[in-house]
Amino acid sequence: MTSSSSELIQDFARLRQIYKDGHVDRLNWCEYVPPSFDPTANVYSKDIVISKDEEISARIYLPKLNDPNQKLPLLVYFHGGGFVLETPFSPPYHKFLNTIVSQAQVIAVSVHYRRAPEHPLPIAFEDSWTALKWVASHFSGNGPDEWLNRHADYDNVFFSGDSAGGTIAHHMGLRVGTEGLQGVKLEVEGIVLVHCFFWGVERIGSEAEKPEVAAFMGKWWRFVCPSTPGSDDPLCNPAKDPNLGKLSCKRVLVCVAGNDLLKDRGWYYKELLEKSGWEGVVEVMEAKGEGHVFHLFNTKCDEDPSAEA
């Protein structure tokens, strides 16, 4: 490697470093945990390939069952990490999904999409849509994965994600509502958006008090989506999306953290949905005194959140 090719051209607070020759160092959260049976949670997991050519895969979670034909609610989960970091196979997400599947008694598909900057947005959205179509291919019980064929209840489907993954979950709900899924009548019961990455040019709430952080957010969005027209891109700003009222689900839960700069965007999203003509029910749950995606690293937090219907 020449000195020119190894020249550092961007360094995002040691989250990652980008070099002149295009190679990237992801400095944190790059560990891999293999699928397994978790005896504490009583949950099995396995990895599957959705598209070999596009490197799209997923980790599927199934709780230990007494009835070999039991049907369970289906959760499709999209991980966070700013569209850049993390995978379904990293320790925080593997542990989190084990806990969710155990406590909620659901079958879960945790989607692995390609990440920026090697694969800039909207690739992550397109990969997630490909994964969702693969999940829907099991609707009649004849898909490639036996766990989904046997146990997924397609009348009781949920989407969820945190941070960037919440943004993806939101858009998957919109896309089901506007395009449908290959003739499959997928019943999306609810969408859970956790500390969702939404942004915009106009400052709202506490954003005006932290101009440096706000500037970073805009810079980050342009970094992961070089083709964007800016922070009012409907991909990150639902206020600019004319299809918002077509969100395909009955209920939305928006989780925000009291110390997260994105908190006000979560509350604003509730207002936007209610004014969009969407006929579902949206609720916001706020965890006081907590930061962005705290739940991934403090899984035993006893904080009693406040909620507003």
Residue 99 CA to chain centroid, in angstroms? 17
Q: Which entry of 127, 162, 241, 260 is annotated as an active-site residue? A: 260
Q: What percent of the chain has pLDDT over 70?
A: 87
**263-300 pLDDT per residue, tens:** 999 999 999 999 999 999 999 999 999 999 999 987 66
- Residue 292 appears among annotated catalytic residues: yes
Vertex 1: Cα angle to 15 and 8 (nearest 5): 30
- For residue 16, pLDDT over 60 is answered with no
Nearest to 113 by CA among 224, 28, 200: 224
| C-alpha triplet 161, 165, 168: angle, nearest 5° | 105
Token digits of residue 7: 């020249």
pLDDT digits (tens, 9 = 90+) for 242-271: 999 999 999 999 999 999 999 999 999 999
pLDDT of residue 183: 79
CB burial class (10 A; 0-12, 13-18, 19+) of residue 12? middle
HSE-CB of 56 using CA atoms within 13 angstroms: 22
Distance CA 49, CA 290 (A): 36
Per-residue pLDDT reduced to its tens digit, 97-129: 999 999 999 999 999 999 999 999 999 999 999
1: confidence class by pLDDT, cuts 50, 70, 90: very low
Contacts of 282 by beta carbon, 8 Å cutoff, 6+ apart:
251, 252, 253, 254, 269, 270, 273, 274
Domain layout of the chain by residue ranges:
1-30, 32-308
3-class DSSP state of 127: helix
Select which of 112, 151, 170, 292 is catalytic.
Answer: 292
| Known catalytic residue at 163 | yes
Dihedral angle sign, alpha carbons of residues 258, 262, 268, 270: negative
Which tokens is 155 given? Answer: 């009348």
C-beta of residue 257 within 8 angstroms of C-beta of residue 288? no
Catalytic residue among 163, 170, 171, 233, which?
163
Mean pLDDT of the chain: 90
The length of the chain is 309
> How far apart, in Å, do the first and last CA atoms of the chain sit?
57
List strand residue ranges (DSSP E) for 122-203, in order. Answer: 152-162, 188-194
What would the CATH number be for the domain defined by 32-308?
3.40.50.1820
